[in-house]
Amino acid sequence: MGECSWPSEAEGFGVCNLNLLGVLDLYIASVNQITQDSNRCKLKLQLWVYSSLAELELAKLENRLASMANVREGHRLSLQLVMEEEKEPAVGAQDQDQEGRTQNLVLVAIALNDLREVVAGISGRSPEEVRVVVSPYRICPLGAHVDHQGGAVSAMAIKLGLLLAFVPSGNPEVVLRSAQFEGELRFRVDETQRPKKSGKENGTVDTNGSVKVEEECGWGRYAKGAVYALQSKGNILKQGIIGLISGSMGLDSSGLSSSAAVGVAYLLALENANNMSVSPTENIEYDRLIENEYLGLSNGILDQSAILLSRQGCLTFMDCKTKEHRFISHQKLQVDHTNGVHKSYKILLASSGLKQALTSNIGYNRRVAECREAARVLLNASGQPDVDPFLSNVEQEAYEAHKEKLEPVLARRAKHYFSENMRVMKGLQAWASGRLDEFGRLITASGRSSIENYECGCKPLIDLYEALLRAPGVYGARFSGAGFRGCCLAFVDADHASEAASFVKTEYSKLQPELASKIAPEAAVLICESGDGARVIGG
């Protein structure tokens, strides 16, 4: 198991899973400190980091780097912790966690330097000029598989995701490298990008109108898709970017919407480089164009909405038909009236070891088509043949009156849609009132309906889902993402998070030893928290 941490308005960046390409987000002004106090606190933090580095033996630090498989809980690096004491924190036996926090700050300093230095080296700029997009992954506690039908969804960003360090290129050229994949991607933002749904391969259109298909650096399709999306709405881009993108190790294709996070990151970087002012709502549409048109996926807008709109500690509710959203605050502490104990939660992300990109999975698009066919049958039966065939256009009463007309497969898809919408609405009430037990039961029911009615999942994922449900302190669990590979998520009592993570890791190793052996130990079960949405920092 591992502990993750992520940049937020009042926090730094905690190193997770040996991925040293992180960033320390020093937005001290958001802690409501005036400029003078902000500068004093920033200087104090820097002095603490560098003095701590001097105190640590290099050999000891190297050993720590090699064995950081499990970054302990509590390494959140809040600037508030620094501001609570007028003197620098001491490293000593009297506070066993202090040494761990200090080491983590040292790693953050190294990570920040690495990230900026690499891009500075590629671009020939100074590290101070490098800007960084923070694009988090997301989870969907309730609202599974209904966004593409205009349903109601809930989501939150987590303190785990990817970083895109970049500088404006000074010309139309884009130069990109990846910390996870080989190769270098080069293209120009003044070339017209060709969408997949045009019937031709993704590529660029040169001056004589012929399509140039580039096979190298497949990981760069989202960057070209971002240019396509911006171009499709009439935006003229003049500045490319030079950048390095780095995701959380081992979490690509894990059902955490890493693909949407990539698309959002490229959009924000290109917009920033071209001095464009774009709202989150507009970027939700731009990212939809990347996925639906440029890449040919049939997914909805849940993923990019969560990544762009989320606020730490809140559940984001979105009506995917009207595009309206609101934030539901959670009572962080819940009183168990049987014994007076206060409860809080953590999020578990358990990896199955199954890897398959959504773009290569025909099962996803087929189920979307089945939902639309179910909607068509129900609308025809209710005398509305000309209405767009989305289940959100079918009234609950019409569904109840005509559901017997659906063939078995379509009936199951419709049953999942209408029951999931109901679970979302009940879940919002449970979350707002701090009833974690009830919220968890609804998550588990969502997972069960995904298996029985939406018919996603497979033996390894179901084994993992059921292991989570048996784990101590777990409120509820379900698949994350499309449910064909990747991971499962669970909400767990904060006091039992480590115990539950160890239990699930052990149980899954027994049930699926071959797959479990392919998962890095530190990535098998992660413990994390909700976080803020995507943003650009620095520069």
CA 511 to each of CA 29, 438, 465: distance values in angstroms, whole numbers, following the listed order: 49, 28, 12
When comparing pLDDT for 72 and 378, which is higher? Answer: 378
Q: Which of 15-24, 164-173, 349-358, 381-390 comes out lowest in average pLDDT? A: 15-24
Give the closest residue to 49 by CA, choosing from 111, 103, 112.
Answer: 103
Q: What is the largest CA-CA distance in the chain?
A: 77
The CA distance from 466 to 130, in Å, is: 45
Q: What is the pLDDT of residues 511-537, one digit of tens each?
A: 999 999 989 888 899 999 998 999 998
DSSP 434: T
Q: What is the pLDDT of residues 380-436, one digit of tens each?
A: 999 999 999 999 999 999 999 999 999 999 999 999 999 999 999 999 999 999 999
Contacts of 58 (CB under 8 A, 6+ apart): none
The confidence score (pLDDT) of residue 1 equals: 47
Give the closest residue to 4 by CA, choosing from 124, 182, 162, 120.
Answer: 162
State the pLDDT confidence band at 472, using cuts at 50, 70 and 90: very high
The confidence score (pLDDT) of residue 112 equals: 57
What residues does 535 pair with on adjacent strands? 134
Tokens of 341: 């104990």
State the pLDDT confidence band at 332, using cuts at 50, 70 and 90: low
State the pLDDT confidence band at 482, using cuts at 50, 70 and 90: low
Q: What is the pLDDT of residues 232-247, one digit of tens each?
A: 999 999 999 999 988 7
Query: Angle of helix 221-232 relative to helix 280-288, nearest 10 degrees?
Result: 120
What residues does 158 pair with on adjacent strands? 530
DSSP 312: T
The confidence score (pLDDT) of residue 483 equals: 65
Residue 444 in contact with residue 430, Cβ under 8 Å? no
Q: pTM of the predicted model, to two decimals?
A: 0.72
State the pLDDT confidence band at 219, using cuts at 50, 70 and 90: confident
The confidence score (pLDDT) of residue 476 equals: 98
CA 413 to each of CA 30, 368, 374, 409: distance values in angstroms, whole numbers, following the listed order: 45, 9, 7, 7
Alpha helices in 11-95 (DSSP H): 35-55, 58-66, 79-84
The CA distance from 531 to 527, in Å, is: 13
pLDDT of 492 over the 80 cut: yes
Helices (H) and strands (E) in the chain, counts: 15, 19
Residue 147 in contact with residue 114, Cβ under 8 Å? no
Q: Which of 40-44, 112-116, 174-178, 493-497 comes out lowest in average pLDDT? A: 40-44
Amino acid at 195: P
Give the closest residue to 141 by CA, choosing from 150, 130, 152, 125.
Answer: 152
The confidence score (pLDDT) of residue 2 equals: 46
The confidence score (pLDDT) of residue 321 equals: 93
State the pLDDT confidence band at 506, using cuts at 50, 70 and 90: very high
The residue annotated as part of the active site, out of 25, 114, 147, 303, is 303
Residue 280 in contact with residue 115, Cβ under 8 Å? no
The confidence score (pLDDT) of residue 249 equals: 56
Average pLDDT along the chain: 77
Q: What is the pLDDT of residues 25-78, one digit of tens each?
A: 322 222 223 333 334 433 433 433 333 333 333 344 344 434 333 322 222 222
Is 303 considered catalytic here? yes
- Range among 152-161, 342-351, 361-370 rated most confident: 152-161
φ/ψ (deg, to 5) at 487: -135, 170
The CA distance from 307 to 135, in Å, is: 7
**What percent of the chain lies above the pLDDT cut of 70?**
68
Give the closest residue to 336 by CA, choosing from 493, 506, 125.
Answer: 493
The confidence score (pLDDT) of residue 269 equals: 98
Q: What is the pLDDT of residues 264-292, one digit of tens each?
A: 999 999 999 999 999 999 999 999 999 99
DSSP string, 382-396: TT-TTS---GGGS-H
What are the extents of the domains in the chain? 1-117
The confidence score (pLDDT) of residue 322 equals: 92
Section 151-176 average pLDDT: 93
Beta strands in 330-365 (DSSP E): 334-336, 341-343, 345-351
Q: Which residue has the tokens 């640590």?
A: 56
pLDDT of 165 over the 50 cut: yes
Q: Which residue has the tokens 């730490």?
A: 312
When comparing pLDDT for 312 and 31, which is higher? Answer: 312
The confidence score (pLDDT) of residue 301 equals: 84
State the pLDDT confidence band at 252, using cuts at 50, 70 and 90: low
Q: Which of 95-109, 435-449, 507-521 comes out lowest in average pLDDT? A: 95-109
